[in-house]
Amino acid sequence: MHADGPQTPDPQSPNPESQVEKMFEYGYRKSNYGPDELVTDAHGNPISVVDAMMSAKEAAATPTSTPHLCYYSPRIPGNTGSAIRLCAVTGTILHLVEPLGFNLRDTKLRRAGLDYHDMAHVVLHPDFDDLVASMPDSRIIAFTAHATKLYTDVEYKPTDILLFGPEPGNIPDPTDIMFGPHVAEQVRLPMRPSLRSLNLTNCASIAIYEAWRQLGFDGGR
């Protein structure tokens, strides 16, 4: 049982700040890194974002246990940071299609707690045609509020690409991308009527985990 009243600090207990610094030394960024330093190597040294990412060719040749995830022209860095972590923990490959609405070195990406292992699941494409050309045998499934089919009515494959468009804003949704001839299916997440859409990466998380569930959570524990 704990005694009432203030607790006396344990003189043998290490300083919490020193513990944090020690953690930073073993693979995470240090607290004094500049705002443009996004990822680090296993020793805590900053490295280039491009050096940490996959090439389109590597992504196409890498076996996965979940479908690939694609963000077309994402605008909010925090959403992409969360998506990078989502893909790291599920073994999903994240494709980002330019133009992006932010710099990949944005501090909001950095605040997501990313390291270079997470970025190893990310591919950057100069345009959507580059994605299609790099994975010509993959089925593209577009998630859009305008679809009638539910996302649970699809039997997912690891080679699929789950496509999400930009976050809502002043730029019109790219209907040529979300409903183009390259898209095999358009699906939606059910929502109560007259309410705003879910956060982009919340939607992507629901989709990825449903696909992974269908595939038996292969590679998970």
Mark the binding-site residues, compressed into ranges.
165, 189, 197
Residues 23 and 152: their CA atoms lie apart, in Å, by 41
Q: For tokens 């509020």, name the residue.
A: 145
Q: Which residues are annotated as a binding site for S-adenosyl-L-methionine?
A: 165, 189, 197
Other Cβ atoms less than 10 A from the Cβ of 113: the count is 12
Burial class of residue 47 (count of CB atoms within 10 Å of its CB; 0-12, 13-18, 19+): middle
Q: Treating both helix axes as pointing N-terminal to C-terminal, what angle do 77-90 and 200-214 enclose, rounded to 10 degrees? A: 10
DSSP, collapsed to helix, strand or coil, labels residue 14 as coil
Is the backbone of residue 23 left (phi > 0), alpha (psi -120 to 50) or beta? alpha
CA of residue 7 relative to chain centroid, distance:
42
